[in-house]
Amino acid sequence: MIHELLLALHGYTGGLFCGSSLQVPAELPFLHPGENALLARVCRLGAFYTRFCEFVEQFAEHVLPPALYPPQHPPPPPPPPPPQQGNYLRAFCTGLNAVLQPYRQALLDLEQEFLADPHLTIAHVNYSLDQFQLLFPSLMVVVEQIKTQKIHGCQIPEIVHHYSRSGLPSVRSALEQVLAMCHAVMYKQLSAWMLHGLLLDQHEEFFVKQGPSSGSVPSQPEEEEDDLGIGGLTGKQLRELQDMRLIEEENMLAPSPKQFSLRVEMLPSYIPVRVAEKILFVGESVQMFESQNMNLTKKGSILKNQEDTFAAELHRLKQQPVFNMVDFESVVDGIRSTVAEHLWKLMVEESDLIGQLKIIKDFYLLGRGELFQAFIDTAQQMLKTPPSAVTEHDVNVAFQQSAHKVLLDDDNLLPLLHLTIHYHGKEHRDVAQARDTPSRELSPHESPTSGWAALGLHYKVQWPLHILFTPAVLEKYNVMFKYLLSVRRVQAELQHCWALQMQCKGLESSRTDAIKWRMRHHMTFLVDNLQYYLQVDVLESQFAQLLQQINSTRDFESIRLAHDHFLSNLLAQSFILLKPAFHCLNEILDLCHSFCSLVSQNLGPLDERGTTQLSILAKGFSSQSSLLFKILSSVHNHQINSDLAQLLLRLDYNKYYTQAGGTLGRIFVLFRAQPARPVQSQRIGPRPFGIKDCWPCLRKREALSQE
């Protein structure tokens, strides 16, 4: 019976010990009840071992030693292919089989002992196998969880690591041995990814994948539009002001698909996300260099020919019996530092990153103001009408002509810049492109009705700067370009109206003319201060900080972080992410554009229809300027954002805005359509100071008008 027991404990049942649970018949007369209990306790180990062998045979049959089947029984047919596959599952089975080896050796030793001393009892078997009474149930919990929940990939090391934190030394030692086998697969994948840029992941088990990330936090539903009246800010609007920096990626642009990203659900909990991001960055950089078809003399090695050194470090980590997070992160940091420094040298020194940033600033952020002033003058009439199929070609010709006018004849730069026009027919023609490109845009016009509303700028980024200026980044720059160009265009139109006013200053003026020119002055005051705030307080200040951070580091990741921070600050401080202020400013710009169109079309005194339109524009401008003041004042009082306070300081530096009740030109609201009649003076009520409107100038202008 002892030999049959040993065979049953090894997984070979017989007539006495049968079934998967190895139950002992209770009617055996020669067994004492105590011996029967001991026998049942020992057979429990055999049942566990049988289930372990079935699991290993199902998922990794090559791991088990060759079975000795009886001659009369042929080997069983091969099992069907398992639903769970993968290298980590095979590694787990290998580790599990290695943990079971001491149990098999204990059975062989027992057999030798019983052959040497036939008088040994079942109690000796129980004593010899007692060390496995605590180990096997713990292993079975892990096996059952992997099998029932269909866990695969890097989730398996996560489960094993969770149960390895046990107070039982035998359980901890065994599970650490299994975990080391799983980590061997991970180190092989890490070596291929970080040293050669190869993603060896046939069964989608690694925590790095190709394609966009699917583990992002779902965006919150967009709130309903609030009433933007002049009665004050609602609580919902104030919350939007407080959360302006948190809605950047959700309310503005969808991120472009990355080539590689993290598979968050496969990342073990004992590996921090910051370390996984470093691994992703290193692999992406190496893969970019390996896949780029360039001269080896120019490219060299991104790892500075230290692949063997880093491979030896990873192999050393692989040989450690226990995973050490400190050593692991230290090796990853060493590889990342080498790659980041090489990328910094390649981008800053060889590819002239600072020069490229200045090009971005000159064109996307309107740093070359004389160029875009010439372009606005050239394309003003061309882009007033809805765009057509030839508008894009004509606009680029006008842009080239404007560049030549301002002596911008860089033959290497101009071919990289291209103005784009998005119109309805083009969207139907480029359906495939529209599916891959985010269609959400923050533009002053939701549905373009003119060429200006559909205008965009495309810049062809050279290698390797494309890893910094991604399509999503360029799209954000394009949003800034459209917004700044709309402000500059309205400012130019108001300046043109001032030129018309100067031509007519010697003619007889009416009350309507006085109010019209006062309205122009108020609009110019607001738009000029907005333009100065955007170009000086925002763009120049943030760009200087970006250059300072680039020059103070030799790490590419620090440069990318500084650039992302720079772009986020531009969008936030320009109020593009702040819906109430952005909507209000766009309404003011539209009113200014309508006013300039009215003035340009009616050089003489306004008729009744023109007077009515002027009254409507005056009321609208008064309402929107009042709303803008309430937004700026409310945020300033709550000390939420210093950017809004800076703009408020420029608009209300002499407290005129405050004394006027937060309304620019509220006298316009009292204006009603009346017959035109001469007036002796154009000075009506108080007016804000401006660059061209000091009190001596006003008195001189008043004296000239009286003469």
pLDDT digits (tens, 9 = 90+) for 384-419: 777 777 778 888 888 888 888 887 767 677 778 888
The DSSP code for 211 is S
Question: In the chain, pLDDT over 90 holds for what percent of residues?
Answer: 12
The DSSP code for 521 is H
DSSP string, 17-61: SBTTTTBPPTT-TTS-HHHHHHHHHHHHHHHHHHHHHHHHHHH-G
**597 vs 539: CA distance, rounded Å:** 30
The DSSP code for 510 is B
**525 vs 483: CA distance, rounded Å:** 19
**220 vs 234: CA distance, rounded Å:** 20
Confidence of residue 16 (pLDDT cuts 50, 70, 90): low
Q: How far is CA 475 from CA 80, 440, 479, 581, in A?
A: 51, 10, 6, 21
**Sequence-ordered strand ranges (E) for 350-470:** 417-421, 455-459
**286 vs 195: CA distance, rounded Å:** 7
Comparing 14-18, 142-146, 493-497, 562-566, the range with the smallest average pLDDT is 14-18
The partner residues of 420 in beta bridges, in order of sequence, read 456
* Residue that wins the pLDDT comparison between 212 and 571: 571
pLDDT digits (tens, 9 = 90+) for 260-312: 888 888 899 999 999 999 999 888 888 877 766 444 444 456 666 788 888 89
Degrees to nearest 5, angle at CA 657 with 616 and 369:
80
Confidence of residue 329 (pLDDT cuts 50, 70, 90): very high
Q: Which residues of 76-104 are buried (b: 16+ CB within 10 A; e: fewer)?
A: eeeeeeeebebbbbbbbbbbbbebbeebe
Q: 387-393 — which CB contacts under 8 Å span 24+ positions? A: 387/421, 387/422, 387/423, 387/448, 387/450, 387/451, 387/454, 388/423, 388/425, 389/425, 389/426, 391/421, 391/423, 391/451, 392/419, 392/420, 392/421
pLDDT for the residue numbered 80: 53
Q: Distance between the two ends of the chain, CA-based, in angstroms? A: 132
Structure tokens at 331: 């090796």
Determine which helix (DSSP H) or strand (DSSP E) holds 260, and give its type and residue range. strand 260-262
In this structure, is the dihedral angle defined by the CA atoms of residues 293, 296, 297 and 303, taken in order, positive or negative? positive
pTM summary value: 0.65
pLDDT digits (tens, 9 = 90+) for 470-492: 888 888 888 888 888 888 888 88
Reference 158, options 187, 141, 179; nearest CA is 179
Confidence of residue 69 (pLDDT cuts 50, 70, 90): very low
Please provide the average confidence, as pLDDT, over all residues in the chain. 74
- Highest mean pLDDT out of 175-189, 276-290, 661-675: 175-189
pLDDT of 512 strictly over 80:
no
Q: How far is CA 69 from CA 13, 21, 79, in A?
A: 12, 20, 17
DSSP string, 633-694: HHHHHTT--HHHHHHHHHHTTTSHHHHTTT-TTGGGGG-------B-S----S-----TT--
Strands 417-421, 260-262: pairing is unpaired
